[in-house]
Amino acid sequence: MKIVKAGVVAILISLLGMSCTPNGEEGSKALVKQASVPNMKPANEVKLETVEPAYWWAGMKNETVLLMIHGKNIATSEVQIKEDGIGIESVDTQDNPNYLFLNLNIANAKAGKYPITFKAGAKELTYEFELKPRNKGTKAQGLTSKDVMYLIMPDRFANGNPDNDSQADLTQKANRKDRDGRHGGDIAGVTSKLDYLNDLGVTTVWLTPFLENNQPDWSYHGYAITDFYKADGRHGTNAEYKNMVDEAHKRDMKVVMDLVFNHIGNGHDWMKDLPAKDWIHEWKEFTKTNYKGEALSDPNASDFDKKIMTDGWFDGHMPDLNQGNPYLAKYLMQASVWWIEYAGIDGIRMDTYPYNKKEMMSEWVSYVLSEYPDFYIVGETWLPGATWESYWKAGGNNRDGFVSTLKSVSDFPVWDALNRTWRNNWSITEVYKTLTEDFLYDDANQNKIFLDNHDVDRAFGVFNKNIPNMKLATSFLLTTRGIPQIFYGTEILMGKGGHHGDLREDFPGGWAGDKRDAFTEAGRTKKENDYFNYMRSILQWRRTSKAIAEGKLKHWVPFNEVYAYARYTDSETVFVILNNNKDEQTFNTERFSEVLKGDAKGKDILTGKSVTIGSEFTIPGKTAMIIDLSK
C-alpha cells in the first residue's frame, strides 16, 4: 500500500465514502458525481470533481503519468493506492488547495483498474484509475513528401448530423447567416466525404481544432479550447472522431490533428479556478502579443519585445498559457499523447508554435517521438523568411544555443513567393530565389507548403481569378520539395478573402438544401470541373511517383519566365517546366543535360501524351508540363 499526504497541515474533513469511476463515453476528463448528506455541514468539505487524464495505457515507453485532480480542498487529503503495480512517485500541490498533482510510476503496471483513495479522517473517496491495453491498430504513421494534406474547417465543410448543430450546454448556437457564427459542419460530415477526398487524390485529412470551444463568439474556428480531452459537441463526439480516423485508415489515408498549447478560451473551467497563480500569463492591464516571432531569434532583441511576443495574449478572449509551469507543461504533453493513442492519429499541427516557451516545445516533440518515432509534427511558424523559419527547425545551428527538435515548419516563405509571383505579377524568379535558401534547413522536404490556408485570402482570389496562373502555381506546389497542403474548396476555385468568415465559407453541397452540390461533377461548373480535374490528375499521379516521394530537387535559373526543375532518384526522373510567359517559348535544352540524356522521352502526365525533349523544346504560354521520364 502506498500512502502519501498532500498538503502541509492535516485537518479534519467530513466526507461521504464513495467509489468514483470515469463517466461519459470515452473522454479522458472524469467527471465525478458528488453525493451529499442531508443536514451535514462539515467544517472543511472536500470534493473530488475531475481527474485528467481519466485513464491511461499500460506498456507506454514513458514510465510515469501525471494526474491533475480537481475538487474543493482536495490537496488536503491523503492519497492511497492499495494495488501493486503502480507506484506513487510524488503528490504535489500548487498554491490552490483545490488541485492536486499525482505523479504515478507505471513502468511495471499491467492493464487493469487501480483504485486511488483520497482519505480525510475516517472517510474516503475512491477513484478507479484504469490502465487500458494499448491500441494495436494503425496509428502514428507520420507523413512524408508522398503525402498531400487537405485542410478542413469542419464547421464549414459538411453537416453530417444536423441534430448536433446547437447544444444546450454550449453557449453559441448555429446560425448559417452569421459569417462569424457556427454553421453546423461536423466530424460526421467529414467522414461522409472521405471517398470524395480519396478520389481527389489527397492522402491526409487535417481538421482545424475540433475540441470543445465553449465561447460566446467565434467558436466555430476551434482555436479557443475549453476542454483538451473532449470533442466539441457541435462537432460530434470523441468516438465519432476516432471512427473518422479509422475510416480514413481503411482508405489508406492519414489524419493530422490541430492543437493549441499557447492559449485557451476564457470559457475554460480553469479561468474560474486557476490551478496555480502562474498557470497563465497575467498583466496589470490587458497586453496583446506583438506577433513578432522574429524577435525570438534576433541576437539584438530587447527582453521587453521577446516577453511581449511570448507572454502577451493572442487575443482578448484567449488567455496565454505559461508552459514554464512544469505541471501545465506535462498536462499539455500528455493530452497530445492521449489523442494519439486513443484515436490513432498520424500527425499534429501545432498552432502558434513560436509563441510558446520554446524549450518546452522541443521537450514536447521529443516526448511524443519517444513514444511514436514515425509521428509527424509540424509547427505553425508564420515568419517572413527562411532565415527566421530555420531557427525553429531541427538540425540548425542557432547562435543562442537553442536546440529545436521540430522537423517540419509551415513554409510561409514559399507561400509569400507564390503570392508575389501571381498576385503582383512579379517574375517567377521569386519562387526560384526562395528555394535557393533551402541551405538554411536541415531537410526542406519536411516543410509544409501551400497556396492558401484558413488564415489568408484564398489563392484563386489572390491570383486575380486567373486560371492559367492558378494551374501554374498548383503544378509547382504538387511537384516541388516539401509536403503540400490544400485548403478545402481550392479544388473548385473558391476564391473569397478579406474577412475570415468569408474566406472560410461553406463548401457548396455540404448542407441539405444547398442550391448545388460541388462534391459532384454535376454540381460544379465547367470552369470548376476543368480545374478540379487538372488538380486531380496531378494528385492521383503523384501517389505513384517515387521521384516525388523520395527524390532530390535540382532547378535552373529561370530564363524568359521559364522555370525548369527535376525531381529524381537513381531510378526515376520527373522534369517540370513552368512557362510563366504569356507567349510560347522555345529554348535550347543543353543546360539541362545533367538530367536529360540525349533525346529524353517521357509522358506529360497532364495531357497523357508522349513527349520527346530534343536539343530544342517549345512550350506554350502560361503552361506547365510535368514530364515523367520513367514512362
- Active-site residue, selected from the candidate residues 320, 351, 491, 506: 351
Query: Pairing state of beta strands 616-619 and 585-588?
Result: antiparallel
Residue-level length of the chain: 631
Query: How far is the C-alpha of 213 from the C-alpha of 171, rounded, in Å?
Result: 9
Q: Which entry of 320, 341, 380, 491 is annotated as an active-site residue?
A: 380
Among 113, 154, 143, 89, smallest CA distance to 22 is for: 113
DSSP summary character for residue 41: -
**Among 592, 593, 612, CA closest to 602:** 612
- Rounded to 5 degrees, φ, ψ at 362 are -65, -40
Element (H or E) spanning 623, and its range?
strand 623-628
Residue 53 preceded by cis peptide, ω within 30: yes
Distance of CA 538 to the CA centre of its chain: 25
Task: Collapse the DSSP code of 366 into the 3-class scheme (helix H, G, I; strand E, B; otherwise coil) and give the result.
Answer: helix
Contacts of 357 (CB under 8 A, 6+ apart): 310, 322, 323, 324, 329
Secondary element (H or E) of residue 306: helix 303-311
Cβ atoms of residues 444 and 386 within 8 Å: no
- Quote the Cα angle for 580-586-592, to 5°: 85
292 secondary structure, DSSP code: -
Q: What are the DSSP calls for 559-613, one per residue?
A: BTTEEEEEEE-SS-EEEEEEE-SSS-EEEE-GGGTTT--SSEEEEETTT--EEEE
Cβ atoms within 10 Å, residue 586: 10
**351 included as an active-site residue:** yes
Q: Which active-site residues does the annotation give? A: 351, 380
